[in-house]
Amino acid sequence: MVNTDILDSEPRYSIGIAAQKVGIAVPPLRLYEKEGFICPFKTPTNRRLYSLNDLRIVQTVRHLIHEHGLNFAGVRRLMAFLPCWKIKGCDAATYRRCKVPSITDSPCWSSGKAVPRNCREECQSCEVYRIATQIDTLSASDLTKR
C-alpha cells in the first residue's frame, strides 16, 4: 500500500506550475508564503518547490477569503487555533512546556516563537500542517484547547 501522506508532502512543483494548478498568478503564491500560510520546500539554490499539501492549503485559504469573507489576519488566526498538541497526542507535561498554545496570531509553522526554524521539511511532513487543508471543515470542538 502506498502512503499518500508522504506523496502529498513531497516537493514536486515549480512556482509557475504550482500557480497554474491553483489558478492564480505567481505573485499571490509568493504572498501566501510571505503571509505564513504555506511552507514550500527550498532547494540549496533557493528554488521553491511546492507539494500537493501546499496547493491544498492555498485552495483552502482562497476559499476562506472568497467564500467566507475572511482576510489574511482572520485566516492566520483560524490556523493558529489548530490544536497541534491534540493532533499529535501530547501528554500534559509536554503541553505545559510547549510554546505553541500561547500563539494566537499565526499557525505554528510560520511562527518563530514556537518553532526555532522557518518552514523546513519537518513542517511539510507534519500532521498539523497537513490538516490545515481541512481548516474550513473543522468544528469548534476540534479547535478547542485542553
Q: Per-residue pLDDT tens for 110-132?
A: 755 444 444 455 677 777 777 78
Task: State the Cα–Cα distance between residues 86 and 131, nearest whole angstrom.
Answer: 12
- Report how far residue 103's alpha carbon sits from residue 111's, in angstroms, rounded to the nearest whole number: 8
Per-residue pLDDT at 122: 67
As to burial, measured by CB atoms within 10 angstroms (0-12 exposed, 13-18 middle, 19+ buried), residue 30 is middle
Contact 57, 132 (CB under 8 A): yes
The answer to whether residues 59 and 22 touch, using CB atoms and an 8 Å cutoff, is: yes
Residue 28 scores a pLDDT above 90: yes
What gap in Å lies between CA 74 and CA 82, rounded to an integer?
13
Question: What is residue 42's DSSP assignment?
Answer: E
- pLDDT in the model for residue 5: 52
Write down all domains in the chain, each with its CATH number in brackets: 4-138 (1.10.1660.10)
Identify the pLDDT of residue 117. 41
* CB-based contact 135:67 (threshold 8 Å): no
Residue 101's pLDDT band (cuts 50, 70, 90): low
Please say if the pLDDT value at position 19 is more than 90.
yes
* pTM given for the model: 0.77
Q: Hey, what's the torsion of the CAs at 51, 123, 146, 96, to 10 degrees? A: 180
| Mean local confidence (pLDDT), 51-74 | 93
H or E stretch covering 144: none
Q: Given this model, what pLDDT does residue 118 score?
A: 43
Cα maximum dimension of the chain: 45
